[in-house]
Structure 1
Amino acid sequence: MTNDSVGVDISKDKLDVHRLSDGAFVQFPNSKTGFQKLRCWIGSALPARVVYEPTGAYHGAFEAALADHLPLVKVNPKHARRFAESKGQLAKTDRADARALAQMGTAHELEPDAPVAKDRPVLRELQAARAALIKDKVRLQNQLDRQQQRLTQKLTRGRLQQVVADLLELDHAIRAQLETCPNRKRALRLIQSIKGIGAVTATTILIEMPEIGHLRKKAVASLAGVAPITRQSGRWRGQSFIQGGRKPLRDALYLPAIVATQYNPDLKAQYKRMKAAGKPSKVAITAIMRKLLILANTLVKEDREWVLVKEDREWVEIRAVENILNCPV
């Protein structure tokens, strides 16, 4: 492996590729044939990194075909654009973007990403289909509330029943796909042991954050977009806020956080302390969301289950249970 960087700008029909060491630029089709030609062009002397941006549906096949063969590095498009602008590159073309990606990889000494699961595209597709059905369900429910005629109500109820049936089928398919991997099956059980997190939220966490169990606390919160961002300059002190991150994951944590403030003794106490200190409800809920995700990451990392047992008429939290088979039900 050489200390070189290759930038790949991915579009619907083609791959624009720039190699930093010699400035070579080539184009390949965004297809299986193109992926094979890219591997042949790179050769046996692999670069230190192949940098690219996620481009919706167009980069999935690229990832799946080359993750086991090339040191891929996926970067945030916003970060890549800001890097290009910091170098004075105002023009935005596929060729210029490929060159900027290669330069960014070397400038920041980016490390290759850990290989993703082979079935990740399958899980993402199933999850996207589920999200679309949830929107359909909400739309149909709202439509039913406004309708007055029996016929239109009947038709809407029929479509609503079909959507609910499809959701159940998708939930079973997602769960079954996740449980094909023993590690993920174990992680699902550990995450669901947290009071407030159910099956749907646990599966969403594993799909949207496959790195869980291998991250630091700050990294977990940052990836989900629930880490407060401090704003200070001189004597000025701005209000902290959350920004960026993986929105589907953040959305999935909102309702479990509300449930946890009522039924999880530890998080309920934390929520009350924050409210008593004058924190707004949204700030306190965000803190609970962050706590839930960090706790899930810790349990998966340490292979421990979170349970509550009744002892001396008080609920006592137990976070470290080495042998879950011996835990009281």
Structure 2
Amino acid sequence: MNRIICGVDVSKDWLDVHVRPVGVTGRFGNDAGGIAELAALCGRHAVELVAMEASGGYERLAWLLLSELGRPCAAPLNARNVRRFAEAMGFLEKTDRIDAGVIAHYAEVRNVVPAPPPSPAQQRLKALVCRLSQVTGDLVANKQRRAAAASAETLESIDEVIALLKRQERRLSGEIASLIDDDPLWARLDAALRSVKGVASRTVAVLMATVPEIGLISNKAIAKVIGLAPIANDSGGRHGHRPVRGGRSGPRSILFLIARLAARYDPHLSAFHDRLHKAGKPKMVIRIALARKLLVILNAKARDARNEFANAT
């Protein structure tokens, strides 16, 4: 028997819903009142799963409040995958109502399961890391503007902004460090990951904020999550080039930067890099392989740290 699934198309102001297979549709405000009404609708129709796309953060409130109200929710779905599924099913047109129905159908076909929302501490860590990244980017941009500035008045204005951004950078870094230190498991993970030379506290914070699965899933699975796993491209007797695709761009970018630095200190990473270089592999292939190798090392260290923590408690 098919599950009763509520597909939700999320926008800034509205939640368009489609309950499959009963065919009930509706529109609710994307606020506490509208989400409560949506939860009541799900209760009346015995909805077993609420599914919605990732929508730039606009889905976060609905996911959290619906979960608090006892409505099982799936983790936000990949919007690109849902859109391609819609086209495969013949839905070339795109409206909020159609999208809600497609989301419910996609969740049914993929047998999507409920997922608890991140803890308040995990949400705060992610928000702080995101804000620190924004401040760091603004700081770099303003330093570049300062280098090109000509007038004293412009320099003074830019210097004021740079001083403010530096204060915010120090404050955010301190809050992130305190948040990690206050959690015994996070503190142990932080120490384990930083034991790899070249991996600094900010890198660890990004990984812990954006890849909470680290140490919980297999090496192959986490490489796919990040987007560092080669995608098969074979057909008949042809064995095509296997690219990497998808995944989480934020932690992947960090790993690209850190992997080459870590290879200066880690003999195994250094030997791995040299072996690929001598084999004539392209620079990008070496870069991806080195990042994946570092990710596997970090995942193993996180797994050991989690096991040690579980056994100690």
- Contact 1:190 1:304 (C-alpha < 8 Å) held by counterparts: no
SS of 1:8's partner is strand
State the AA in 2 paired with 1:89.
F
**Structure 2 CA distance for partners of 1:206 and 1:6, relative to 1, 3 Å:** same
2:93 maps to which of 86, 91, 106: 91
**For the residues of structure 2 that align with 1:20 and 1:213, how far apart are their CA atoms?**
36
CA distance in 2, matches of 1:3, 1:125: 34
Structure 2 match to 1:15: 15
Distance of 2:115 and 2:87 partners within structure 1: 25
**Structure 1 residues 321 and 70, CA, compared in 2 at 3 Å: closer, same or farther?**
closer
State how far apart, in whole Å, the 2-side matches of 1:164 and 1:114 are: 36
TM-score, normalised by the number of residues in structure 2? 0.89
Q: Which residue of 2 aligns with 1:70?
A: 71
Indicate conservation of the 8 Å contact 2:146/2:158, yes or no. yes
Q: TM-score, normalised by structure 1?
A: 0.85
Q: Distance in 1 between matches of 2:107 and 2:84?
A: 14
Shift of 1:114: 4.0
- Classify the secondary structure of the residue corresponding to 1:43: helix
Identify the residue that residue 264 of structure 1 maps to in structure 2.
266
For 1:88 and 1:107, how far apart are their aligned partners in 2?
Answer: 15
Instruction: Work out whether residues 46 and 70 of structure 1, in 8 Å CA contact, stay in contact via their aligned partners in 2.
Output: no
Tell me the CA shift for residue 28 of structure 1.
1.3
Q: Report the secondary structure of 2:191's partner residue.
A: helix
- Map of 1:30-109 to 2, 5 A cutoff? 30-43=30-43, 46-68=46-68, 69-73=70-74, 74-109=76-111
Q: Assess if the C-alpha contact under 8 Å between 1:6 and 1:49 holds in 2.
A: yes
What's 1:5 paired with? Answer: 5
Counterpart Cα distance in 1 of 2:89 and 2:71: 27
| Deviation at residue 126 of structure 1 after TM alignment | 2.2
Which of these residues, 191, 197, 209, is aligned with residue 189 of structure 1?
191
Count of residues in correspondence between the two structures: 310
Quote the residue 1:310 is aligned against: none
Q: Is the Cα contact below 8 Å between 2:230 and 2:243 reproduced in 1?
A: yes
- 8 Å Cα contact 2:12/2:30 also seen in 1: yes
1:107-166 CA distance string (max 9 Å, x none): 121122244212444333322322221221221222233334555445434432332221
The two structures, once aligned, show a CA RMSD in angstroms of 2.7
Question: SS of the counterpart of 1:28?
Answer: strand
> What stretches of structure 1 of length at least 5 have no aligned partner?
306-319, 325-329
Deviation at 1:46?
4.8
Q: For residues 239-269 of structure 1, what are the alpha-carbon distances to aligned partners after superposition, in whole Å with 9 as ceiling and x for unaligned?
A: 3322221111111212211111111111111
1:192-211 superposed matches below 5 A: 192-211=194-213
Q: Distance in 1 between matches of 2:99 and 2:121?
A: 29
Name the amino acid aligned to 1:107: V
Shift of 1:22: 1.0
Residue 281 of structure 2 corresponds to 279
Identity of aligned residues (%): 30
Q: How does 1:172-251 map to 2 (within 5 A)?
A: 172-251=174-253
Which position in structure 1 is the counterpart of 2:172? 170
Q: Which moved more, 1:230-239 or 1:11-20?
A: 230-239
1:315 corresponds to = none
Matched, 1:298 2:300: yes
Amino acid at match of 2:248: R
Distance 1:60 1:119, change over 3 A: farther
- Counterpart amino acid of residue 29 in structure 1: G
Change over 3 Å in CA distance of 1:48–1:323 after alignment to 2: closer
After TM superposition, the structure 1 stretch with the greater mean CA deviation from structure 2, 15-24 or 169-178, is 169-178
Distance 1:6 1:256 in 2: 42
Which residue pairs with 1:142 in the alignment? 144
- Alignment correspondent of 1:308: none
Cα distance, 1:82 vs structure 2: 1.0
Q: Which range is displaced more, 200-209 or 11-20?
A: 11-20
Deviation, 1:34, is 1.4
Q: Which moved more, 1:171-180 or 1:222-231?
A: 171-180
CA contact (8 A) 2:143 2:162 kept: yes
State the shift of 1:25 in Å. 0.9
Contact 1:12/1:30 (<8 A) preserved: yes
Q: What is the CA-CA distance between 1:304 and the residue it aligns to?
A: 6.8
